[in-house]
Amino acid sequence: MTDTIIVLDFGSQYSQLIARRVRETHVYAVLLPWDTPQEQVLAYQPKGFILSGGPLSVYDPEAPYIQDFIIQSNLPLLGICYGLQALTKALGGKVAPAYNREFGSAELLGIKPSLLLNGNDGPSVWMSHGDRIEEVPPGFEVLARTANSPIAAMGDEARAYYGLQFHPEVRHTPSGAKILGRFVLDICKCNGDWYPESIIDQTVNRIQNQVGNAKVLSAVSGGVDSSVATALVQKAVGNQLTAVYVDTGLMRKNENRWVDQAFRKNLGSNLIMMDASQTFFSNLSGVTDPELKRSIIGETFIRIFESKARELGNPPFLVQGTIYPDVIESRAAERKQAQRIKTHHNVGGLPERMNFDLVEPLRYLFKDEVRIIGEYLGLPSELVWRQPFPGPGLAVRCLGALTPERVSKLQKADAIFTEVLSNAGLLIQRTGDDAPMEGTAQSFAVLLPVKAVGVMGDQRTYEEVIALRAITTDDFMTADWARLPYDLLAEVSNRIVNEVQGVNRVVFDVTSKPPATIEWE
């Protein structure tokens, strides 16, 4: 059995991050709601628990609490923020509202070295709390403070119980990953031998058991998740799998080529590439409303896919690239526990409409782990490390009417921007275990439905405008605009105006999310 840490979710927006950080230390972590029944929790045979933060006060009548069996398990515990407060309350300490809410960076002071913290931690840590600890429970001692929190860290080394008022899981706490690493490796004594690819064999077995001799269908979009899911299923069931790629005409430049390259070799004639662009353009003709575009694209996609499935004798199984954050998000939505920032947009919602059993090989993986598995399975790295792309494709980046001419203009401008960023090493790329991603998390061109006056040669021009969007983010729920070098922007602008007919002006979007969203529509 792989050494496993259970992260109990008390509703913080950072709960997923805790599980990810733990997995980055090569220890398998599972995120479960705080009130998951005992048998389900203990079935994992955990080596320790991390209690996440959460939005409530421990004195709220609705406040989640630490279930008795967790404490009775005598396993190591680490409470973070709300988790620390819940632990304090459960073990007989005192939690009280702070006079000043503490939010943002704080300096860790007076560290008392322990298995969890050492003198090199901090000084900067990320705080986000109202309540604070006034008195540690019996058996605990204070391990560090900040200006506003006399008890910023506490521990009872004999019982291996620890609590942190700050958030070690966020990048704004530079020594946070090391602190979490010490908890899971030194205190919980996990082996640290889990790697994303270690689940490949296990997943292949599971798929084979689920599917037996039946046929499986997959819709590949050129996106990372559907590609890696399809490659895993292909490894498991070979030519029982048929992959369908629907070219909507709204794909990025070269999309078809990547898909062909990724799957043709292994799937041969079981890769079906359909050019449905005419149908999409005709259904979208004259439509400018973003939500209407989305629903028409979703409907059209479903209809095309359904008829293809019928042609193929209605295979009973469908591959779905659901990843762990999707699972966690929909679970939270059902329980209305974590506060939802973004509605989940899923165009092409096939499963609700069609009678398939789902094969979901990526259900327990985070995005960067999916990428690592994709590489391991031999998918082209351009595909595996590419940025997220919205389901409705360029339709939501081509503002206004959708015509093949306008979309082609956008594809060209977008390809130039991508090429220049790639040459500058600023697209997502893998840099190592500690910092799997750097560069822009998402970057693209947007074609605006306005015309501007320009002058080219001695001629007056009246052409359309391209906006460039480049953002940095960890989770796509909030984002900042990327501070791209001026010279790079100048090169992109020059090339777009010179190489893309019908564009005479390029602007750069300098809005964060919130208040803007990442996409323009």
Binding mask 439-478 for ligand XMP (x = CB under 6 A): ---x---------------------------------x--
Q: How many residues in the chain?
A: 521
- Please report whether residue 513 would count as binding ligand XMP according to CB under 6 A: yes
Q: Does 391 bind ligand XMP (CB under 6 A)?
A: yes
Nearer to ligand XMP, 49 or 258 (CB): 258
Residue closer to ligand XMP (CB basis): 307 or 517: 517
The residue from 189, 257, 342, 460 that contacts ligand XMP (CB under 6 A) is 342
The angle at the Cα of 341, spanning 336 to 344, to the nearest 5 degrees, equals 80
Looking at the DSSP bridge assignments, the partners of residue 80 are 164
In this structure, the strands spanning 153-156 and 161-164 are antiparallel
Footprint on residues 288-317 left by ligand XMP (CB under 6 A): 294
The verdict on 505 binding ligand XMP (CB under 6 A) reads no
CA distance 413 to 504: 12
- The 10 Å Cβ neighbour count of residue 188 is 23
Q: Are 155 and 141 in contact (CB under 8 A)?
A: yes
Please identify which residue in 388, 404, 425, 449 interacts with ligand XMP, judged by CB under 6 A: 388
**Shortest distance (Å) from residue 441 CB to ligand XMP:** 8
Nearer to ligand XMP, 145 or 513 (CB): 513
Question: What is the token pair recorded at 240?
Answer: 């029982």
Total number of residues that touch ligand XMP (CB under 6 A): 15
* CA pair distance 425, 517, nearest whole angstrom: 25
Closer to ligand XMP by Cβ: residue 169 or 521: 521
Nearest CA among 70, 7, 8, 9 for reference residue 38: 70
How far apart are alpha carbons 167 and 307 in whole angstroms? 50
Q: Does 518 bind ligand XMP (CB under 6 A)?
A: yes
Q: Which amino acid is at 187?
A: I
> Which one, 73 or 512, has the nearer CB to ligand XMP?
512
Nearer to ligand XMP, 257 or 342 (CB): 342
Q: Distance between CA 182 and CA 115 in Å, rounded? A: 7
What residues are annotated to the active site? 81, 167, 169
Q: Please name which of 154, 175, 77 lies closest in space to residue 112, comparing C-alpha atoms.
A: 154
Q: How far is the CB of 342 from ligand XMP (least distance, A)?
A: 6
Q: CB of 444: closest distance to ligand XMP in angstroms?
A: 8
Q: What x-and-dash track marks residues 475-504 binding ligand XMP by CB under 6 A?
A: -x----------------------------
Give the helix/strand (H/E) hosting 83. Answer: helix 82-90
Strands (E), 331-490: 357-359, 442-456, 459-472, 480-481
Positions touching ligand XMP (CB under 6 A) are: 294, 342, 345-347, 388, 390-392, 442, 476, 513, 517-519
